[in-house]
Chains A and B, each alone.
Chain A
């Protein structure tokens, strides 16, 4: 157990144990989170709203429940935060858009409701890029999130706030959404664990949409076991999300601890090995992971898949077409209210025809089948890099987020579960491994990820140092503070 001043360093799993042993109370954990956010977040900008009053009330309730013998599971009394596209009753859902300045949610999103029922303590709402597809330009309501490992470096997007908040030890877990990379990319850049479950595994009800057939909800944590604990709470069938799948939920936390002996792990080298811009440190770290998998008894084998570019093209066409269809009216009537990055990325959707979309969906079927038949018919999992590089510095364009060199789109397109986890460093910035499994076999990626983490150490045994200073073009750190208490008619 750490000293009381270091409670923020505990994992979800450790907090759960400490709460049950009586070593700490939920109120103490919550106060520690709030204090740390107050002290450090003005330089990181992970939070857009902190609901201290409600958080402390939830924590007090959790403590009363413990005292009364009521135990709702491992998240009871544990602090977390949600990306600002998840509805929370009484709080604004703003998606970093000027159009949603007064958008107060009337009810909880299904994931937040599940977390509430599990006794988790919501600290506040987390920053994101505009509607989960913009950049960190200066023409959106909130300033760019900084990467806690180095404040001059990008945090990734769109779940920039969730990844930064977890890495900075403001909260041990966060809810995020992932349409093409938005949980895994930021998790990779910020050196944390990001789990995008299978399509249909976690309900999107009450989460602001971007692309109906690609949007996933996921979790970000500092350990793989914590990701399993969080997923356990939000996974399940929801008849009010048309994409939700009525597939039984496995015991994810129970799958940690199993060995890797005899597992067959596929490596799609064609996805990244010859890609322009692949960082040598990323490749070295990845080869180290493959050696580790072999030492742990797994059989590692290279496999061939269709070109990465085909996955990416089909995914981008579907994403852009669906986003344009969703936002066309607002883009037409309130174009000036959008930040330039979102506007510039979505408007091209108007030129896509029905034939383009049909072909992209046919490619999607083909590519999904390729993964199922060429990989998962004979292998238990697949590993590749999450990003070709570590987080780059902010570019000169006033803090804009350039396109990430992620390798995440294929599994958004096919709906296979994928987990990003730290695997090394490049010049002090984290690099990330991606583990993929059969659809609805999240237990397998948790099993593999946890075993690797046991060898590598959570977050590679390191902690962010908040190095660096103000990115060029970004507003000074002191110019923005998340609203400390935002509570509308709940």
Chain B
């Protein structure tokens, strides 16, 4: 169990969403896949988007 998965389950409980034991592993797998996609978009946003504020670009170690 990763901290990410813990945090996800905590949020689910907070919102009243049930995590049935027989679905839990699959949900966490989908969550991880979606998290990777969000990470990819975040990386694009920070690195190359013309819409990213200059402050973000300056903060990036790559620049």
A contacts, CB < 8 Å to B: 309-310, 312-314, 316-317, 320, 328, 331-332, 335-336, 340, 343-345, 347-352, 356, 359-360, 362-363, 365-366
Contacts and interface: CB of A to CB of B under 8 A. Distances in A.
B27 A317 contact: no
Given A351-B8, A351-B11, A366 B50 contact: yes
Interface string B33-63: 1111110111011000111000000000000
Contact of A313 (B15, B16, B23, B40): B40
Contacts of B7: 351
B26 interface: yes
A351 B33 CA distance: 12
A340 B23 contact: yes
Contacts of B23: 340, 343-344
Contacts of B11: 350-351
B32 to A, nearest CB: 8
B17 A314 contact: no
5 contacts: A309-B40, A313-B40, A314-B41, A335-B18, A359-B44
B60 to A, nearest CB: 15
A313 B41 contact: yes
Contacts of A362: 45, 49, 51
Contacts of A328: 15, 17
Contacts of B42: 356, 359
Range class of the B interface residue count: 20 to 34
Contacts of B33: 348
A359 B45 contact: yes
A351 B14 CA distance: 11
A30 B62 CA distance: 66
Contacts of B40: 309-310, 313
A359 to B, nearest CB: 5
A332 B37 contact: no
B18 A348 contact: no
A104 B40 CA distance: 42
Contacts of B20: 335
Contacts of A332: 15-18
Contacts of B15: 328, 332, 350
Interface in B1-20: 7-8, 11-12, 15-20
Given A340-B23, A350-B17, A351-B8, A356 B30 contact: no
Contacts, number: 86
Central interface residue in B11, B20, B22, B30, by most chain A CB within 10 Å:
B30
A313 B38 contact: yes
A332 B19 CA distance: 10
Contact of B27 (A314, A320, A344, A360): A344
Contacts of A356: 38, 41-42
Contacts of A314: 41
Contacts of B16: 332
Given A328-B15, A331-B17, A350-B17, A340 B26 contact: yes
A335 B17 contact: yes
B51 A344 contact: no
Given A344-B27, A344-B30, A345-B30, A359 B8 contact: no
Nearest to B24: A344
B38 A352 contact: yes
Contacts of A317: 34, 37-38, 41
B49 A348 contact: no
Contacts of B19: 347
Contact of A348 (B27, B44, B51): B27
Given A328-B15, A347-B17, A350-B12, A310 B27 contact: no
Given A350-B11, A359-B42, 7 more contacts: A310-B44, A313-B37, A313-B41, A328-B15, A335-B20, A351-B11, A359-B45
B5 to A, nearest CB: 10
A316 B51 CA distance: 21
A352 B12 CA distance: 12
A379 to B, nearest CB: 23
Contacts of A331: 17
Given A344-B23, A345-B30, A347-B17, A310 B35 contact: no
